[in-house]
Amino acid sequence: MKKWWLMIGLLVMFWPSHLVHAEGAGFTVTPQMTASQIGGNLGWFNLLVKPGVQEKLPVVVANQSDQTKTVHLQLTNAYTQRNGQIGYDPNTQKRINAQTSLTAVGSKPVTVELAPKTGKTVTFTVTPPEFSGEVLGAIYAQDQTPAAKSSASGFAITNQFAMVVAVVMQTSETKVAPQLTLNSVSAEAKQIIAHVQNPKPTLFGKITFKSTVSLDGKTVLTQTDKNYAMAPNSDFAYQLTPKTTLQPGQYQLVIDATAGKTKWHLTESFTITKPVTPAPTSTSKTAAKPNYTWLFGLAIVLAMVIGIFIGKKRGGGNHA
């Protein structure tokens, strides 16, 4: 019998660093800055590019372990995850009004085999077209070393770490103003899903959502979420979780969103056809039972005190 354990360490470098690594991964990915880099060595590619001119994205992949490693590298497009953060793993997320993408203009995936304690330079190429704003993606490197078999236990365990080096391309350092739109709202079994979209080619964050759901003018759900981020030209499946069951009916969602000094007021009507019931809070029967351990402890202490007191009394009587 085989059992596969998947451990993914996604490390997105948005702080000054030369090395991308994850504890226990056994390999590193180091971006090599080019002449198109702006803002200094950030530990990720921040490129000012020219339309039609090929750009190189070199990274050094180094095997720090004592075994041969197989590492698969590919270009990916950034997207907005359901948790309101930027994702860089391989995906097929819909891109809203995108003029281009990193995978559309970049070279194909590469797989390298590295002997122990060795490294190799892998160079991707991109040829950007004319575009405005930002194109955001990454070089995604995943350990695909075959699992080590254990004859004693019968299990094959593999730790598959993945690392990310972000790639931002722009043809101008002039930023495009962000925008948010509410595309649609739907009800699922346990939550409401609002598809909030950023149709502009710009990455922005520190977004706060203050949401209200009402039925016949009566508020039935409020929710506030902070520190969200949206990838350029992306759709965000924003989740609203009711505290009580929402019955079928015609509802109204209002989202007041802010990012810095920019504000959006988004509204949309939607219909619930089946009750939306939140998942029950995880409580176990054992946790619900009263814990009397402290009473037993107190009883033991009291018994000791009483015993000492009686012993002293008896001792005093014998001397009399």
Whether residues 138 and 228 share a domain: the answer is no
The domain total for the chain is: 2
pLDDT at residue 157 in the model: 55
Whether residues 155 and 197 share a domain: the answer is no
Whether residues 148 and 217 share a domain: the answer is no
Whether residues 214 and 263 share a domain: the answer is yes
Q: Which bin fits 294, alpha (ψ -120 to 50), beta or left (φ > 0)? A: alpha
pLDDT at residue 9 in the model: 35
Q: Is residue 159 in some structural domain?
A: yes
Whether residues 166 and 186 share a domain: the answer is no
Whether residues 202 and 161 share a domain: the answer is no
Whether residues 160 and 43 share a domain: the answer is yes
Strand-pairing partners, residue 237, are: 195
Measured distance CA(285)–CA(216) in Å, rounded:
39
Q: Is residue 241 in some structural domain?
A: yes
Which residues span the domain enclosing 261?
181-272
pLDDT at residue 152 in the model: 57
Whether residues 37 and 134 share a domain: the answer is yes
Whether residues 265 and 216 share a domain: the answer is yes
Q: Is residue 277 in some structural domain?
A: no
pLDDT at residue 273 in the model: 97
Q: Is residue 309 in some structural domain?
A: no
Q: Is residue 5 in some structural domain?
A: no
Low-confidence ranges of the chain (pLDDT < 50): 1-18, 283-320
20-54 pLDDT, tens digit each: 555 578 999 999 999 999 999 999 999 999 999 99
Q: Is residue 31 in some structural domain?
A: yes
Whether residues 35 and 78 share a domain: the answer is yes
Give Dmax over CA atoms of the chain in angstroms.
110
pLDDT at residue 183 in the model: 97
Q: Given 148, 170, 192, which residue is the final one in a domain?
A: 170
Whether residues 88 and 215 share a domain: the answer is no
Long-range pairs, 258-267, Cβ under 8 A, ≥24:
258/207, 258/208, 259/178, 259/204, 259/205, 259/206, 259/207, 259/208, 260/206, 262/177, 262/178, 264/179, 264/180, 266/180, 266/181, 266/182, 266/196, 267/182
- Give the global pTM: 0.79
259-278 pLDDT, tens digit each: 999 999 999 999 999 999 99
Q: Is residue 285 in some structural domain?
A: no
Q: Given 135, 170, 205, which residue is the final one in a domain?
A: 170
Whether residues 126 and 258 share a domain: the answer is no
List the CATH number of the domain containing 245.
2.60.40.10
Q: Is residue 119 in some structural domain?
A: yes
pLDDT at residue 169 in the model: 98
